[in-house]
Structure 1
């Protein structure tokens, strides 16, 4: 069905969405859990609808994507997806740009799942010196043909699976690539890789890199399991296919995010939803971070860089070269609330430091702010407008 194959194998995630709804209620009590005294966690924003992507531009402005809220009926579209810009220190949006939001009900006893605007990345092009140069890229979920096929033609979303460039000053959006439809076609042509699920596409993570004098754009597709580079003109070049795990109940890696390491390679986090939460004891440790050569071409295989993480939904490197990831359901479905973030030193990928379990309900994205703290979207898989942004400061 519609969203069951996407970020999180949604037929099972409908159960988790109910847990997420309970977890979102913990936002107002986010400081209630016993915290490490060297870690400060506090709310920055609230009242967001399934916030997922987060990023800061060179002037310190924060951008947040909201996947939106569901409408009536078993499946359909609302126009509640958003990207919001907040200038540094402000809790009132400088602008808000609306997008489509797709919803589908897998379990009538649970809230519908919602997908819309997802990953964000800034374009490194002189924004700090000239505010008119500020640009942000945003990726939307799913694909037009995939949604149409899954709903028997009843839902048509022409924004699905598009890569948009947003003007940092006005929010004006321009589609730069229909990567979702391209990956839906690619997985149809490579259905032997995942015969039970392909064709499929769900673009979820985006990253703009700069090296050798030019910016490059990469997309992680949580449905196609591909990492692709968006070329001038909008064509997607498949760089790598993230392999499914050889264990667990369902075998679906589900890449969700991309970060550029100090070595210039791409580091890709995976969700591995079913294996983390529904393979006994169901408390995680099955997600990985894959190292991908940005200049490779499929079928060049990626290499595994780090393991032992849980349901990665967002990742980044800080300015000291540490890898950070948001773990949406860390602690398992029995945690109240689930969710955590993890730091991994680049030189020691087997070392992990966790901050925020019990205080960061179902996190989605993570980014380092201009003040050096990490900012995390929370309530990212909860219904309604119960999500927000938390600030995490670690004093070593």
Structure 2
């Protein structure tokens, strides 16, 4: 069982009690950001998305229990109607915790990626689609804990009713990815089999058909999930060639203006633990109609530990960099903007202010909303609104 964030030392606890660092700045015409806390007291908030009605959905991975590993019932997804800071509903999920470093708090994994259709549900309730992906896989957790921990929600794709929060299981993605890496163990012999679904994207393809894609941070795969729950692997994200662990770790998927998929990678070890100055993460461009073993291409490079990504309505690619600044940073984390037509250009916002950002989404007011404290222990996370004068 390979958890996504193997944090060490101060990185695992730096955000405890910290929601937003530094004074908020007024936005000006040059795009200086203004930050404000929207919702606080969240337990490792990761995924965030908005639907066409402006409702904001936030996924919390949860908090750890006692012992080296186990499950709690502290994972959750909450819906916030536009302009409200109290959820209209909250749906609970299981949360897995695992201790990999006794000197640091346990890693916590549970509800992770969220995605909702941004159009088409204003008039028809049944056209609103909200998708959640949860971490790890049932067989992977059983194997890693020698049968001690059985999580029947691990690695599942859920559909959430936008009115009630009722969750419907749509696919066991984790088990399918675990089987894929078992059959293709030569791709990563030192680590496979493995699975850790983390990012999800729901979108409308040609002729209005709804399509769902999942990024698996453990299997390093991008899959399309069929209506029957089957996972079709469309791409294997190449591992880095110079890193200590050869583990690219795809964490997020965004649909570009060209209809292709753009996938960000974490590359945690290469960015933080082998003496490199960061900048080892990439964004891959993936054909949604491809099939493995078609190799995706690198679209942008020079990022650091990407955990969430999106395109805004002007075609800019945005990514959260959870550990930007490195292991010695007092407040690791940053947000980067890349113009679609100029992937070699990067503008950074939030360094020293946005602590351990998890994911990012554009709201109906054009501002960007970021989950922070996403790998902090306890209920020390928040959603932060970041507005710019022009972007």
- TM-score exceeds 0.5: yes
Unmatched 5+ stretches in structure 1 = none
Q: Counterpart of 2:142 in 1: which secondary structure?
A: helix
TM-score (norm 1): 0.95
Equivalent residue in structure 2 for 1:223, among 218, 224, 228: 218
1:25 paired residue among 13, 17, 22: 17
Q: Deviating runs (4+, > 3 A) in structure 1?
A: 32-37, 130-133
SS in 2 for 1:198: coil
Whether 1:273 aligns to 2:273 is no
Corresponding residue of 2:107? 113
Contact 2:43 / 2:60 at 8 angstroms: preserved in 1? yes
After superposition, the CA RMSD in angstroms is: 1.5
Q: Secondary structure at the match of 2:269?
A: helix
Contact 2:198–2:217 (CA under 8 A) maintained in structure 1 = yes
Q: Deviations over 1:68-98 (max 9, x none)?
A: 0001111100010000000011110100000
Contact 2:50 2:118 (C-alpha < 8 Å) held by counterparts: no
Q: Distance in 2 between matches of 1:35 and 1:226?
A: 41
Structure 2 CA distance, aligned partners of 1:245 and 1:76?
Answer: 32
Within 5 A, what are the aligned runs for 1:108-257? Answer: 108-123=102-117, 126-131=120-125, 133-213=127-207, 214-257=209-252
Describe the superposition over 1:170-222 as per-residue Cα deviations: whole angstroms up to 9, x where unpaired.
00000000010000000000000000000000000000121212111000000
Q: Report the alpha carbon displacement of residue 228 of structure 1 after superposing the two structures with TM.
A: 0.3
Separation in 2, partners of 1:25, 1:150: 32
- CA deviation profile, 1:239-296 (whole Å, cap 9, x unmatched): 0000001112221000000000000100000000000001214x41000000000000
Distance 2:210 2:130 in 1: 13
- 1:133-168 CA deviation, whole Å, 9 max, x = no partner? 433100000000000000000000000000000000
Contact 1:30/1:42 (<8 A) preserved: no
Q: Secondary structure at the match of 1:196?
A: coil
In 2, the alpha carbon distance for the partners of 1:68 and 1:390 equals 18
Cα shift at 1:124? 5.6
| Cα distance in 1, alignment partners of residues 206 and 92 from structure 2 | 35
Correspondence 1:44 to 2:38: yes
Equivalent runs, 1:319-330 vs 2, <5 Å: 319-330=313-324
The number of equivalent residue pairs is 386
Report the secondary structure of 1:23's partner residue: coil
Q: How does the TM-score come out when normalised to structure 2?
A: 0.96
Whether contact under 8 Å (1:272, 1:287) holds in the other structure is yes
Q: Write the distance in 2 (CA, Å) between the matches of 1:338 and 1:32.
A: 17
Structure 1: distance between partners of 2:74 and 2:127: 27
Q: Does 1:390 align with 2:381?
A: no
How many angstroms apart in 1 are the aligned matches of 2:265 and 2:60? 21
Is the alpha carbon distance of 1:36 and 1:250 closer, same or farther for their aligned partners in structure 2, counting shifts above 3 Å?
farther
Structure 2 residue matching 1:336: 3-state secondary structure: coil
Give the Cα–Cα distance (whole angstroms) in 2 for the partners of residues 256 and 56 of structure 1.
19
* Alignment-derived partner of residue 83 in structure 2: 89
Aligned-partner Cα distance in 1 for 2:114–2:257: 20
Return the alpha-carbon distance in structure 1 between the equivalents of residues 302 and 14 of structure 2. Answer: 26
Q: Which residue of 1 aligns with 2:328?
A: 334
Q: Answer whether contact 2:12 2:104 (CA < 8 A) is retained.
A: no
Partner residue of 2:3?
6
Query: What is the Cα deviation at residue 24 of structure 1?
Result: 3.7
SS of match in other structure, 1:22: coil
In 2, Cα distance between equivalents of 1:336 and 1:325: 21
Give the whole-Å Cα distance in 2 for the aligned partners of 1:299 and 1:332.
Answer: 34
**Structure 2 Cα separation of the partners of residues 58 and 174 of structure 1:** 21
Query: Which residue is 2:311 aligned to?
Result: 317
Residues 105 and 377 in structure 2, CA contact (< 8 A), matched pair in contact too: yes
Measure the CA separation in 2 of the matches of 1:275 and 1:106.
18
> Deviation string for 1:334-374 (max 9, x for gaps)?
11200000000000000000000011000001000000000
Change in CA separation of 1:109 and 1:293 when aligned onto 2, cut-off 3 Å:
same
Judge conservation of contact 1:144–1:157 (CA < 8 Å) in 2: yes
